[in-house]
Structure 1
Amino acid sequence: MADRNPVRAGQLPPVDKPEQLRNVVLVGCSGTGKTTLAESLALASGAIGRAGRVADGNTVSDYEDVEHQQHRSVQLAVLPLAWNGVKINLLDTPGHPDFDAEVRAGLHAADAAVFVVSATDPVTAPTRAMWRECADEGIPRAIVVSKLDVARSGFDEMLTACHDAFDLGPDSVRPMFLPVYRDGHPCGSLDLLTGRTYGEPGPHPDSAAARESLVEAISGQDDSLMERFLAGEELDADALADGLRREFVDCALHPALAVTDNGLGAAELLDLVTTAFPDPTRRRGDGPACDPDGPLSAQVLRITGDAYVGRISLVRVFGGTLRQDTHVQVEGAGAPDSGTPAQERITTLSGQFGKLQRPVSEGLAGDLVCVPKLTVARIGDTLCDEEHPVVLPTWPLPDALLPVAVEAHTKADEDKLSQALARLTVEDPALRLEHNPDTHQLVLWCTGEAHAEVSLDRLRNRHGVHVDTVDYRVALRETFAGAATGHGRLVKQSGGHGQFAVCDLEVEPLPTGTGVEFAVRVVGGAVPKQFVSSVEKGVRAQLAVGVGTGHPMVDVRVTLVDGKAHSVDSSDSAFQTAAGLALRDAATHTDVRLLEPVAAVRVILPDDYLGAVLSDLSTRRGRVLGTESTEPGVALLRAEVPELELSRYPIDLRSLTHGTAEFARAHLRYELMPAAVAAQFTGTGHSQS
């Protein structure tokens, strides 16, 4: 490895070509120590003066109040570091599954990933799933074993566990540095390629065999290196470093090392990043060429709100150079539907270090920069030159399946709520906002409880709006149980023209899903033709609000069979009112039944949890349609479940399967609600007899 040469604290090296950049994302579940590692790297590189602190006393990565309250990261944090003349954009991601959108944005922005696994805990299923996704995308991956100083397992045992958990081929996980112990505690590490010792020196009896195994793995895909290795020639460090970089970029080898909470391993990881990790010119995929002199192609990764600056957009520049005082074209979801391309003006640029913003002159191809006050561009949108429009692919977002109904706390909050929610959903694309026209509720669809807590906290503290959470209501329907007739009569005299209309209606139920039909069977002109449409309007208006429980009525045919009119006092409004009265009268002559929405549910889960999930679905009145195997050890379950039973299902499913299941739902149809359940909404089971 190259000698360490950290620059002065807070100073970044001048970057004039993409080869001087590294974009690295930290991935791992909550509690593995990603943020602690990020702070150790910042301290080792000289970016901060004491572990975890920047100049104003804020923590490096977790600076939102809600992060301190929940003791977890909830957003993507960017830490630009300097090491050996290279700028490293370190992306620290949340570990909680509710904030998976932040992780995916970080993976999209990075050129390589560091998976952090704790020596005190097994490798979790979500971590395994993320590893598989990175493998499918061809993202180079290294492994860092954290908490080695408080471990219940040793370094070698954890590498074996990772090999098994990630289902890797032989020799693909290789330690680059071996921990050195004193009195049973790690005190340093040995670089297997250079023989250099970090920290305190100490014996390591397995170093020769480990180095030979590593050199053989590095040489395996390079004929010239393999020939030299088999000939017994001593390979120099530069040749080995070149071979390591090729193997790592090709995802054929995953280097590993250990770190401790007190900073051991940080300098080693920085050396590994600058030596073996790919620069942006070697990014996977078919994206734009990473050429600073080429056409601009940049993408918005994240948007945050600042009380003084306003909206701040974090942007990855994939090609070209983003410069101040220029105009760019916006392509993507934020672009207007008019067909006229949207334009944004780039006023100033800055580099982000945790909470702090540091002015920069330009954003070079491969770099990350922050752009203030973009008004049109949304997360995932592309910024490009007008002469060379391009749309960069976006990353998948998790489904928001947990509903949280909210109401403004005060009238003042109500006045500000709409604008605040609009800003909140721009900043968090995983959050979905719904104004339910049936229940008249304002619903925030979240990815889980932690996501809901963070969203409400940001609404309160970032946007100054207080809301109360209320019970989420599922939109129900009602229908007639049998045929009935209804009589509606409106007679009013109030001086001058009065109001007069009489309607006789027949109502009959239709098959589920039919909707509403209106028919006319009037003879002898009992209802003048000009008022037939008035009757239909009155019927449909009454059906929209229901006649029994206040829910819209569906799947009925209403037939106008008779009526009376007055040559002077009859009117459009009179016949609309009479029609509504007739429908309500018909409801007194038969039962009105409630209909509930049913969802098609799709669950992908490990076979080990299939029994528990099936049992849980049975308690939710679910009907299992079948299961099938999608891959060894993984099952796909299809079921139909009443939506009343799904309000908390994302939370319960995560608990049942320890976060290993994927869940999707889609509205299927309405069907009759059982009498026992309907009694909760009507106060009696009579309407479902």
Structure 2
Amino acid sequence: MKVYDAATIRNVALVGHAGSGKTQLASAILFNGGMVNRFGKVDEGTTITDFDEEEVARKHTLSASLCYVEWNKHKVNVVDTPGIGNFFSDARAALQVSEAALVVVDAVAGVMVQTEKAWEAAQELGLPRIIVLNRLDRERASLERSLQALRDACSRTVIPVQLPIGEEKAFRGVVDLVSRKAYVFQTDESGKFAEAAIPAGMAASVESAREALVEMVAEADEALMERFFDAGTLTDDELVAGLRTATTSAKLFPLVCTSAALNIGVQQLLDTIVTTVPSPTERPFGGAVRGDGAVPKADDKAVPCAFVWKTIADPFAGRITMFRVVSGSFKADSTVYNKTKDAQERFGSLQLLQGKTPTTVPEIKAGDLGAVAKLKDTLTSDTLGDKADPTVFSPLKFPEPVLSYAIEPKSRGDEDKISAAMHRLEEEDPTIRYSRDQQTKELLLSGQGQVHIEVTVAKLKRRFGVDVNLKPPRIPYRETIKASTEAHGRHKKQTGGHGQFGDCKIRVEPLSRGSDFEFVDDIFGGSIPRQFIPAVEKGIQDARSRGFLAGYPVVDFRVTLYDGSYHDVDSNELSFKLAGSLAFKDAMSRARPTILEPIMNVEVYAPSDFAGDLMGDLNSRRGRIGGMDTRGAMTIIKAQVPMAEMLTYEQHLTSATGGRGSYHMEYSHYDEVPTQSQAKIIAAAKAERAGVEVEEV
């Protein structure tokens, strides 16, 4: 495999909604470039980039994967990304290491929620975007309808550079508006085509579309605009150069026409990528440098520097690190420095990845994407390079989990295996989280949504042999008091020999939220010997951990120990511990105990048409609406909602918005549960203690 220089490399990310044909397009690109002998099909599970068993079974990409093609003396790296919202962070990472986004749009469905999210993510990075209008062979496919939707949702400067020849099942090729050439394809999926005359019935539409293209290219450049006004048009050379400049500067977004399944228009797309997408030498790497440093240029003679954008946890090959060489070059069998972790690493063989299949190369130069196996400390977002070079890139931003499940092993003794396996999966996917709830003692698996959780559980079983059950997590309720009171606790027991005696008096009072617990020693005159006072506190701590109303920890109160008595012979630590526990229970019975629940800060993103219904739903979940913002056609609703009401929110939001809504939530504070709900929580706790299964309240 040839080692390519940065000027001849093109890095593109395939992004868009699930089912738009990104993976099939990647397969067609590889087939047309001669990188594979067989045209892989998503429906048959034979594509290069969807190699995980779960991806094959679901027929959807679940993790970004890398492939490459050699085309017209260039190397085109293609990152195939997930279109399901739960896995969108992989698409963001892929965009950061690419020079352009290929936004794949289904010509039937048009613009969908992940189309818009991908567009926004590329826009944040200032990336050039080429729209690939795919599936033009399908029934009800429409260039006109899709173009209008793209202009409404994404940009008014989306402009076709091709027109389709034939409609729906009759789609057979494309007309290039720049060259005025028509390409008609064979119908055997071979990708073979012939240059032909523009169909007579298309002549007028081709000229009209070309005039619109020329005008839009001219508008993107002042000098070309003057030329256009003077001459009334642009020369072919001016159009080609102006189109490239407008595209690379993200002022104009060309649209090309394809059917990846029929292998139509794919070679023309590759030509567009090579001629229009900027090389790494023409566009700075998309990552930000910590501090005041500048992003290094893609010069293979410069100091080596690389950014890790993805990690794969392979139970056989070990950890596979995928990186972008930002500057310099990296050689096999060399020592590199992890500047993020302040640790030395050893590169073995360097790899170029064709899906899961590696090709060993001696060197990877600036601008290229590569991989290396079995680094000991390096993870996603780390910077690799020379120890003396101060350049360190800021980490990728990953969303916080929005959905949690309690997990328990189906086989006893697998808890340690779960922990080890989840640690590996967290390295691969920073958007999942594995933790133990210190209050409920449950093991929690948290992720971006239902599909994300299900896929993670499937990986646990398939890769690591760990089978788990999922169940809704217990809500970590707490208890507190609303009134001050005094209480007395006495423990006395005579057994014939040394007895037990402990006696204490306490004062309890409520504290502000988040104060947890305070213990004040206010004993004077030796009514309780100093060595027994910690035992009183321990007894109260033990009792408060078991709760009073429903078995949840009691928080936000102060206990003052102010009096008591003891026996010279019978008093001991155990006696005063029991006395403290009795005093606490006595106090709780009169201090107006109540139950607290966790309240979450929630932000819901959805098209503005759904705002009213979504706010009504949040109100029905005992939410408090805190505000509403508008961003283009999207509305952001901010609210505070009890955690107990959010356990099934993802399913509702998906159903209510047709998959176009998303949300983010994080813990805010604890607040009192309404009286009616408290009664249900207490009843459920009593039933659970009695061994009766109850639904989570």
Same fold, TM exceeding 0.5? yes
1:117 matched to 2:109? The reply is no
1:302 matched to 2:301? The reply is no
1:127 matched to 2:154? The reply is no
Identify the residue that residue 39 of structure 2 maps to in structure 1: 51
Matches within 5 A, 1:469-480: 469-480=470-481
1:227 matched to 2:212? The reply is no
Select between 102-111 and 552-561 the one with higher mean Cα deviation.
552-561
Question: How far did 1:241 drift?
Answer: 3.2
CA distance in structure 2 between the aligned counterparts of 1:552 and 1:198, rounded to whole angstroms: 73
| Structure 1 residues 637 and 306, CA gap change in structure 2 (3 angstroms) | closer
CA distance in structure 2 between the aligned counterparts of 1:183 and 1:276, rounded to whole angstroms: 28
1:647 matched to 2:635? The reply is no
Matches within 5 A, 1:265-284: 265-284=265-284
Residue 323 (structure 2) aligned to one of 315, 324, 341: 315
Percent of matched pairs sharing the same residue: 35
Select between 127-136 and 414-423 the one with higher mean Cα deviation.
127-136
Question: How far did 1:382 drift?
Answer: 0.8
Select between 72-81 and 240-249 the one with higher mean Cα deviation.
240-249
Equivalent residues of 1:542, 1:580 under 8 A apart: yes
Unaligned runs of 5+ in 1: 1-11, 336-340
| Structure 1 residues 163 and 234, CA gap change in structure 2 (3 angstroms) | closer
| Structure 1 residues 550 and 331, CA gap change in structure 2 (3 angstroms) | farther
Identify the residue that residue 623 of structure 1 maps to in structure 2: 624
Identify the residue that residue 192 of structure 1 maps to in structure 2: 177
Question: How far did 1:117 drift?
Answer: 0.8
1:180 matched to 2:188? The reply is no
- After superposition, what is the alpha-carbon deviation per residue over 1:463-497, rounded to whole angstroms, capped at 9, x for unaligned? 22121112201111112454555443334566875
- After superposition, what is the alpha-carbon deviation per residue over 1:39-82, rounded to whole angstroms, capped at 9, x for unaligned? 1111111111121179x984212111111222211010111111
DSSP-derived class of the 2:414 partner:
helix
Equivalent residues of 2:596, 2:672 under 8 A apart: yes
CA distance in structure 2 between the aligned counterparts of 1:685 and 1:35, rounded to whole angstroms: 50
| Structure 1 residues 233 and 565, CA gap change in structure 2 (3 angstroms) | closer
DSSP-derived class of the 2:464 partner:
coil
Matches within 5 A, 1:330-479: 330-332=338-340, 335=341, 341-479=342-480
- After superposition, what is the alpha-carbon deviation per residue over 1:597-636, rounded to whole angstroms, capped at 9, x for unaligned? 22233334433211111111122111223x3444455444
Equivalent residues of 2:433, 2:446 under 8 A apart: yes
Question: How far did 1:664 drift?
Answer: 3.4
CA distance in structure 2 between the aligned counterparts of 1:486 and 1:471, rounded to whole angstroms: 38
Q: How many residues align?
A: 661
DSSP-derived class of the 2:396 partner:
coil
CA distance in structure 2 between the aligned counterparts of 1:158 and 1:546, rounded to whole angstroms: 60
Equivalent residues of 2:84, 2:114 under 8 A apart: no
DSSP-derived class of the 1:666 partner:
strand
CA distance in structure 1 between the aligned counterparts of 2:323 and 2:247, rounded to whole angstroms: 26
Identify the residue that residue 544 of structure 1 maps to in structure 2: 545
Select between 76-85 and 647-656 the one with higher mean Cα deviation.
647-656
Select between 212-221 and 490-499 the one with higher mean Cα deviation.
490-499
Question: How far did 1:230 drift?
Answer: 4.6
CA distance in structure 1 between the aligned counterparts of 2:105 and 2:159, rounded to whole angstroms: 15
DSSP-derived class of the 1:430 partner:
coil
CA distance in structure 2 between the aligned counterparts of 1:150 and 1:573, rounded to whole angstroms: 79
One-letter identity of the residue aligned with 2:401: A
Residue 138 (structure 1) aligned to one of 111, 126, 136: 126
Identify the residue that residue 148 of structure 2 maps to in structure 1: 160
| Structure 1 residues 608 and 157, CA gap change in structure 2 (3 angstroms) | closer
Unaligned runs of 5+ in 2: 186-195, 287-293, 687-697
| Structure 1 residues 396 and 187, CA gap change in structure 2 (3 angstroms) | same
CA distance in structure 2 between the aligned counterparts of 1:216 and 1:327, rounded to whole angstroms: 54
| Structure 1 residues 521 and 53, CA gap change in structure 2 (3 angstroms) | closer
CA distance in structure 2 between the aligned counterparts of 1:347 and 1:419, rounded to whole angstroms: 25
CA distance in structure 1 between the aligned counterparts of 2:471 and 2:113, rounded to whole angstroms: 33
CA distance in structure 2 between the aligned counterparts of 1:395 and 1:294, rounded to whole angstroms: 24
Question: How far did 1:197 drift?
Answer: 3.0
One-letter identity of the residue aligned with 2:140: R
- After superposition, what is the alpha-carbon deviation per residue over 1:284-308, rounded to whole angstroms, capped at 9, x for unaligned? 4662100011111111111112233
- After superposition, what is the alpha-carbon deviation per residue over 1:76-115, rounded to whole angstroms, capped at 9, x for unaligned? 0111111111111011111000001111011011100111
Equivalent residues of 1:15, 1:21 under 8 A apart: no
DSSP-derived class of the 2:299 partner:
coil
Identify the residue that residue 693 of structure 2 maps to in structure 1: none
1:86 matched to 2:74? The reply is yes
CA distance in structure 1 between the aligned counterparts of 2:149 and 2:684, rounded to whole angstroms: 58
CA distance in structure 2 between the aligned counterparts of 1:242 and 1:368, rounded to whole angstroms: 28
Equivalent residues of 2:603, 2:638 under 8 A apart: yes
Equivalent residues of 2:130, 2:254 under 8 A apart: yes
Identify the residue that residue 3 of structure 1 maps to in structure 2: none
DSSP-derived class of the 1:43 partner:
helix
Matches within 5 A, 1:487-526: 487-492=488-493, 498-520=499-521, 522=523, 524-526=525-527
| Structure 1 residues 618 and 184, CA gap change in structure 2 (3 angstroms) | closer
Q: CA RMSD in A?
A: 2.8
CA distance in structure 1 between the aligned counterparts of 2:217 and 2:540, rounded to whole angstroms: 78
| Structure 1 residues 415 and 665, CA gap change in structure 2 (3 angstroms) | closer
Identify the residue that residue 295 of structure 2 maps to in structure 1: 287
CA distance in structure 2 between the aligned counterparts of 1:386 and 1:445, rounded to whole angstroms: 36
Identify the residue that residue 251 of structure 2 maps to in structure 1: 252
CA distance in structure 1 between the aligned counterparts of 2:580 and 2:160, rounded to whole angstroms: 81
Select between 158-167 and 199-208 the one with higher mean Cα deviation.
199-208
Matches within 5 A, 1:580-659: 580-588=581-589, 592-625=593-626, 627-631=627-631, 633-659=633-659
Question: How far did 1:532 drift?
Answer: 2.3
CA distance in structure 1 between the aligned counterparts of 2:660 and 2:41, rounded to whole angstroms: 35
| Structure 1 residues 384 and 462, CA gap change in structure 2 (3 angstroms) | same
1:62 matched to 2:70? The reply is no
One-letter identity of the residue aligned with 1:321: S
CA distance in structure 2 between the aligned counterparts of 1:294 and 1:543, rounded to whole angstroms: 63
One-letter identity of the residue aligned with 2:246: E
CA distance in structure 2 between the aligned counterparts of 1:132 and 1:486, rounded to whole angstroms: 61
Identify the residue that residue 677 of structure 1 maps to in structure 2: 677
CA distance in structure 2 between the aligned counterparts of 1:494 and 1:463, rounded to whole angstroms: 56
Question: How far did 1:116 drift?
Answer: 0.9
Select between 415-424 and 95-104 the one with higher mean Cα deviation.
415-424
CA distance in structure 2 between the aligned counterparts of 1:366 and 1:313, rounded to whole angstroms: 16
Identify the residue that residue 241 of structure 1 maps to in structure 2: 240
| Structure 1 residues 131 and 185, CA gap change in structure 2 (3 angstroms) | same
| Structure 1 residues 57 and 600, CA gap change in structure 2 (3 angstroms) | closer
CA distance in structure 2 between the aligned counterparts of 1:372 and 1:91, rounded to whole angstroms: 19
CA distance in structure 2 between the aligned counterparts of 1:196 and 1:575, rounded to whole angstroms: 94
| Structure 1 residues 229 and 359, CA gap change in structure 2 (3 angstroms) | farther
| Structure 1 residues 369 and 564, CA gap change in structure 2 (3 angstroms) | same
Equivalent residues of 2:217, 2:242 under 8 A apart: yes
Identify the residue that residue 8 of structure 1 maps to in structure 2: none
CA distance in structure 2 between the aligned counterparts of 1:470 and 1:478, rounded to whole angstroms: 24
Identify the residue that residue 7 of structure 1 maps to in structure 2: none
DSSP-derived class of the 1:489 partner:
strand
Question: How far did 1:420 drift?
Answer: 0.9
CA distance in structure 2 between the aligned counterparts of 1:389 and 1:102, rounded to whole angstroms: 27
What TM-score does the superposition give when structure 2 sets the normalisation length? Answer: 0.88
Select between 101-110 and 667-676 the one with higher mean Cα deviation.
667-676
Question: How far did 1:242 drift?
Answer: 3.0
Identify the residue that residue 9 of structure 1 maps to in structure 2: none
